[in-house]
Amino acid sequence: MLRGVRLLIALVVGALVAACAAQPSTQPSASPSSFSVAAPAGPATASPPAGATPAPAPAPTSSASAVWRVGARPLPLRPDGFGQVLPTPAKLRTRSLPTIDRLPPPRGGGFQSAVRPISPMIRVRMGTTWGPGCPVRLADLRYLTLSFRGFDGQPHTGELVVNERAADQVVSVFARLYRARFPIEEMRLVTTADLHAHPTGDGNNTASFVCRAARNQTRWSAHAYGLAVDVNPFQNPYRRGDLVLPELGSAYLDRDRIRPGMIRAGDVVTTAFADIGWTWGGTWRSPTDLMHFSATGN
């Protein structure tokens, strides 16, 4: 009889384990969206920062990946197509996420850069961020690779597409930031996937060229000419009324609480861009665009 009882208990336990294993996962995942941005054919009225909402990327191998996975939590949408502005999660209030190396880090640890025409491969990667209706010719854009420091203090290699006439100046700016050890989380091309990604509000891509209109306007943005750069969008958000971009970056509207990656008046970032004649969106009254530097003032 005792043997029969033991057999019954084993069957019950086995059934419970099988039931638990069959429960669906609750891990959130990013989903595609028709979130509208400016199409290359002409200006639109609303669009995200050049790199504020990146497409989900593979999780880094660092143990820090358990802290936050960028792009994994889609936001509810506002009527204007942006994500709802929600409080900054505790894990991002002092953001210091690891950099995912998509290109080999610079050898020897020194600053390295290269300026090249847009190759067929880079053109494919750019996707719909450029098209025949854009206000700048593809031949007038340049593909840059340049060194930057991550929040881990280590050297990494980033990439930007900028206007040919600004390429050397932009390289000189990032050389200064590298020497000053100013941290940058990510620097990669904006792609079609980014333009159509459902907003997650946690993007932090330092980027330049996107063929789009200025936000809330019908004229072309300086980004559409390759004459603007957004630096660390999460630590330096855009604000207009109740809209904050990235949508989870509200904690960084407090500019009195200084944290790594923030841009402040008179620091190395504003000084380096000012020395090449570019203006800072952090000086605007409304909207305030703390991430944004441009050669055109818009």
Q: What is the pLDDT of residues 32-90, one digit of tens each?
A: 322 233 334 444 434 455 554 444 444 444 444 467 999 999 999 999 999 999 999 99
**Token couple for 205:** 């891509």
pLDDT digit string, tens, across residues 147-206: 999 999 999 999 999 999 999 999 999 999 999 999 999 999 999 999 999 999 999 999
- Give how far Cα 208 sits from Cα of 12, 52, 158, 291, Å: 60, 11, 12, 11
Q: Please name which of 160, 130, 129 lies closest in space to residue 142, comparing C-alpha atoms.
A: 160
* pTM confidence score: 0.80
Amino acid residing at 160: L
- Give how far Cα 179 sits from Cα of 95, 144, 185, 221, Å: 21, 18, 16, 30
Phi, psi torsion values for 128, nearest 5 degrees: -85, 10
Q: Please name which of 198, 204, 161, 163 lies closest in space to residue 291, comparing C-alpha atoms.
A: 204
pLDDT digit string, tens, across residues 207-224: 999 997 765 667 899 999
Query: What whole-number distance in Å separates Cα of residue 174 and Cα of residue 28?
Result: 35
Whose tokens are 């690779």? That residue is 145
Residues in Cβ contact with 204 at an 8 Å cutoff, skipping those fewer than 6 apart: 51, 52, 54, 70, 95, 97, 185, 186, 232, 233, 234, 235, 246
